[in-house]
Amino acid sequence: MQLAAPILQVWAANASDPLISGDALDVLQALAACPKCLGPLAQHATPALAQVVTNPANQPPMLLEASLDLLAALVRPAASAVAGDGRVVAAAVAAAVLVPAAALAAASDDAGAVQSATQLLIELVGGAFVML
C-alpha cells in the first residue's frame, strides 16, 4: 500500500481545498473499493482519522468533515458484497469512532460535520446488519 501514505498526506494537508482534497478522496475511495487494498488502507488511515474525530476542536478547517467522509468511504464496502476485510474494517472503525461520531452528529454546530457524522453512522449501521 505504497500509494496510500502519500495520498493521505496530500489529502490531509489540503483538506480545505475542495479540488485537491476531492481528487485525493476519489483516489482513496477507489482504493477502498478494491478488496485487496481496503484492509491495508484502513489499517494505515483509521488511527489518524480517529484522532481527528475524537479531538474535533483542535483540527484545521474542513479536516474533521473530510475525515468523517473518508471513514464512511472505508466502511462503505462492508455494506456491499465485500466480505472479510470489509467486515473487519467496519468493526475497527466502529470501535474507534462510533461514540465520538454520534456525539458530533447530535451536538456539533458545524452543519457539514453533522452531515458527515450522520453519513458515517448510516454506513456503520448498514455494515453492522451485513455482519449479522
Q: Helix/strand/coil (H, E, C) string of 51-90?
A: HHHHCHHHCCCCHHHHHHHHHHHHHHHHHCCCCCHHHHHH
The pTM of this model reads 0.87
Per-residue confidence (pLDDT) for residue 61, from 0 to 100: 77
C-alpha cell recorded at residue 30 = 477507489
- Mean per-residue pLDDT, 112-121: 94
Cα-trace Rg, the chain: 13
**Could you state, in order of their start, the residue ranges of all structural domains in the chain?**
4-131
pLDDT tens column, 68-85 = 999 998 898 765 644 566
Per-residue confidence (pLDDT) for residue 126, from 0 to 100: 80
Q: Which residue, 68, 73, 30, is CA-closest to 49?
A: 68
Helix (H/G/I), strand (E/B), else coil: 104: helix
**Distant-in-sequence contacts of 22-26, Cβ < 8 A, 24+ apart:** 25/66, 25/69, 25/70, 25/73
pLDDT tens column, 3-55 = 888 998 998 888 888 899 889 989 998 988 888 888 889 989 999 999 999 99
